[in-house]
Amino acid sequence: MKIILCGFGVVGQSLVKLFESRKDELYAKYGLKPRLIAVFDSKGSAVDQSGLKFNELVEIKKKYGTVKNYSKENNSMTGIEILKNIDADVLIETTASNYKDAEPGMTHITTAMKKGMHVISVNKGPLALAFPSLMELATYNQVMFKFSGTVGGGTPILDYAKNSLSGEKITSFAGILNGTTNYILSNMATGLSFEEALKDAKNKGYVEADESLDLDGLDAAAKLVILANWVMGMKVTMPDIKCTGIRKVTIEDIKKAEKNNSVLKLIASCDNELVVGPKEIPKEDPLGVNGTLNAIAFTSEHSGTQTIIGKGAGGTETASSILRDLLDIRQEIAKK
C-alpha cells in the first residue's frame, strides 16, 4: 500500500516507528505492507517511489529537524506539489489543527480525495470546519475517509459509538474530550491555583503550542463537532457550538463543587444543544476521572448509559488509531 504522510511531528514519527516494529506481523496477519513513498514537514520533503526507510527517516528528522536531508532529490517539493504529482493509495494527514481556516490540512485532504486517494486524518481542523462537505467529497470521489484518532487518541470512541452501539439509537452524550484541561482541573482540586496548574501542565508537555486550543475549549468543541456529525448524523460545524473554556475557573468554584460532593470538569455535551463548558459532576459519576484521561458517556434508547474511558492523547496512542484506520481501508479494498 503506497502512502503519503503529511507532517512528521510526534504522531508521524510514532507511526513510522510502529510500521517498523510491527512490519512482519502486519504482513503475516493482515497482508498489509505499508510503503511510505513521500513524507513532508514544514521545511521540506523526502520522496522515494520504492519506499522510504522507516528508521532512517526518524534518525534524519532527529538530527536535522526536517526530513529534507533524507536525500537531495525532490526535497524541496511542498505538500501540495507532492499530492498533485505523486500517485498513492492513502494520504495520512497529521499536520497541526487550525480552527481559523483549517489550512494546510484542508487543501491536502481535498487534493488527495480528488485524485482518488483514501484519506486518514488526525488533524481536527478540516473536520471541525467542514465535516459535512468533506464527507460528501469522499462519497463523490468514491474514497474512504477515516479519522478515528481525532477523538480520544488511541481510545476508540468513534468506533465504539458507531459499531458497538450499532442498531441502538443514541439519544445524547456527554464527556471529557480534552485531557489537558482535565489535568489542570484535577490539580486545582488538590489546592493549586489555575496559574500553578497550567504551569505544571506546560512543564509536562500537555499544553498545545497555542494554549487557547485547550484553555478556551476549542479542542473539545472540535471533537464535539466530529462526534455530533458522525454519531448523531448532524450537519454542524464549529460556529454551532456554545463554547466556554476554563480560564475563569477559580479555587472558589472548585471548593463549591467539593461542598456539593462533586468535581468540576470541562464537559462537551450533545443533548438539545451542543455545549462545551465547566460543569459540576457528582464524584461517583463515571465521568469524574482525573489526570489526562478522557471519558465519554453515551445514552441510548434501550441500553441506557455506557461510559468509555481512556487516554486522550499521546503520539503512540494516536499512531495506533491511524494504523487501525489503515487496516480498515486495507480490508475494504480486499473485499472489492
SS3 label, residue 80:
helix
154 or 75, which is more confident: 75
pTM of the shown model = 0.92
Residue 62 pLDDT > 80, yes or no? yes
Instruction: Name the segment(s) of the chain with CATH classification 3.30.360.10.
Output: 157-311
SS3 label, residue 280:
strand
Give the separation between CA 25 and CA 244, rounded to whole angstroms. Answer: 45
Give the separation between CA 264 and CA 107, rounded to whole angstroms. Answer: 39
The CATH architecture to which 2-153+315-335 belongs is 3-Layer(aba) Sandwich (3.40)
Show the beta-strand stretches assigned E in the chain. Answer: 2-6, 35-41, 44-47, 90-93, 118-121, 145-146, 170-176, 242-243, 262-270, 274-282, 293-300, 304-311
| CATH number of this structure's domain 157-311, picked from the four choices 3.40.50.9100, 3.30.360.10, 3.40.50.2000, 3.30.565.10 | 3.30.360.10
Q: What is the mean pLDDT of residues 197-208?
A: 90
Instruction: Name the segment(s) of the chain with CATH classification 3.40.50.720.
Output: 2-153+315-335
Tens-digit pLDDT profile for residues 39-58:
999 999 999 999 999 999 99
pLDDT of residue 161: 86
Positions marked active-site? 223
pLDDT of residue 204: 87
Tens-digit pLDDT profile for residues 295-335:
999 999 988 999 999 887 678 888 999 999 999 999 998 88
